[in-house]
């Protein structure tokens, strides 16, 4: 068995995927810092509207590639306008609250942003169609995003100097991009397939630029684990319920890839049960045949995906249950 690398999170850690319900970032940060003490994250609150949504917030990181809202969709623009200013203002408020509430914090801190392929599949060109249609535009987008996220990571480090920053790239559209399933505007056809090596090259460009360990998140079916590995991400964040073939996951873990295991449902009538969450992860680990001692070091417990659509009370209870589950799997 391959020697296990040192991972940039403590043994038995838990974290959230990113989004939370509501519009109060101060309260959301109090919840995250309180319920996820070993690996907190900067929460995202899409209920605040345009500019707080995943694509708008992510496009706000682009350098010298302004965007605007047009007919309810984000598209590239010739110059920055009110939509981009709103996006920047929302992020600045979030960062100011993080600076205040994480004062004195030491340890890993996760921030999230959409990856280049999800942005390319969802951002429109002014002439029509997604950026995905133009390989040159995708290259420009990737370079712009990489530089913007490098600056973002550097800013987080200045604001919370005791933190070691992890960057999570959200790529829910990646499987569709690889399969050629991103529909054109008419809905009658789809954009070209992107091959795995090309997808990995763009992701790796971001990974190599940002100056922080990168977790690649995809809670969609047909997770391309080889692309994640080729991109040189330190970990993959996934929804365990969508993993049908264990062999690629086992190979990735054997090769030293960390796993952010989405083991807790993002909604439900019952109160989240940390024992059930921990047992679900332990059972999978046993099926894969890895030593129990390796589990809490290589695996981080998370909800299955973001929690923006969950009731506030459930979201808080779920984060707490994930932390308790992480401590359970760390018990030998």
Domains of the chain: 25-330 (3.20.20.210)
d(CA 33, CA 19) in angstroms, rounded, equals 14
For the stretch 270-317, pLDDT in tens is: 788 999 999 999 999 999 999 999 999 999 999 999 999 999 999 999
Q: Where do runs of H (alpha helix) occur along the chain? A: 25-35, 54-59, 82-101, 116-122, 135-159, 174-179, 196-210, 225-230, 246-254, 274-288, 295-298, 312-330
Give the residues of the chain that fall short of pLDDT 50.
Answer: none
Q: Tell me how far apart the 2 most distant CA atoms of the chain are, in Å.
A: 59
Provide the pLDDT for residue 62: 98
pLDDT of residue 2: 56
Cα–Cα distance between 197 and 290 in angstroms, integer?
29
The pTM (predicted TM-score) of the whole model is 0.95
The per-residue pLDDT for 188 is 80
SS3 content of the chain, % helix, strand, coil (to 5): 45, 15, 35
CA 279 – CA 207 distance, rounded (Å) = 33
Q: What is the pLDDT of residue 294?
A: 95
Cβ-count burial 134-166 (b if 16+ within 10 Å, e if not): beebbebbbbbbbbbbbebbeebbebbeebebb
C-beta separation of 76 from 125 below 8 A = yes
């Amino acid at each position: 068995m391959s020697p296990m690398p040192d991972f940039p999170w403590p043994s038995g850690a838990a974290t959230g995927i990113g989004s939370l319900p509501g519009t109060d970032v101060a309260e959301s940060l109090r919840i995250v810092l309180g319920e996820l003490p070993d690996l907190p994250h900067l929460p995202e609150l899409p209920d605040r509207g345009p500019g707080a949504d995943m694509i708008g917030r992510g496009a706000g990181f682009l350098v010298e590639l302004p965007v605007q809202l047009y007919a309810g969709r984000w598209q590239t623009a010739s110059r920055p306008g009110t939509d981009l200013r709103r996006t920047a203002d929302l992020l600045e408020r979030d960062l100011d609250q993080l600076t205040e509430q994480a004062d004195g914090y030491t340890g890993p801190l996760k921030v999230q942003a959409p990856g280049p392929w999800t942005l390319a599949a969802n951002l429109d060109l002014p002439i029509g169609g997604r950026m995905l249609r133009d390989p040159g535009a995708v290259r420009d987008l990737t370079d712009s995003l990489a530089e913007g996220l490098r600056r973002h990571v550097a800013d987080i480090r200045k604001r919370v100097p005791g933190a070691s920053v992890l960057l999570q790239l959200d790529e829910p559209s990646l499987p569709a991009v690889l399969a050629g399933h991103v529909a054109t505007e008419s809905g009658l056809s789809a954009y070209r397939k992107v091959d795995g090596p090309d997808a990995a090259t763009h992701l790796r460009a971001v990974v190599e630029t940002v100056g922080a360990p990168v977790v690649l998140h995809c809670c969609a079916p047909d997770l391309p684990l080889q692309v994640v590995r080729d991109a040189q991400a330190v970990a993959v964040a996934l929804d365990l319920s969508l993993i049908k073939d264990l062999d690629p996951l086992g190979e990735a873990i054997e090769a030293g890839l960390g796993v952010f295991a989405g083991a807790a449902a993002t909604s439900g009538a019952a109160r989240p049960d940390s024992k059930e969450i921990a047992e679900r992860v332990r059972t999978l680990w046993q099926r894969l045949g890895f030593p129990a001692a390796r589990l809490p070091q290589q695996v981080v417990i998370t909800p299955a995906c973001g929690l923006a659509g969950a009731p506030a009370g459930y979201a808080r209870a779920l984060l707490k249950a994930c932390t308790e589950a992480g401590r359970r799997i760390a018990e030998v």
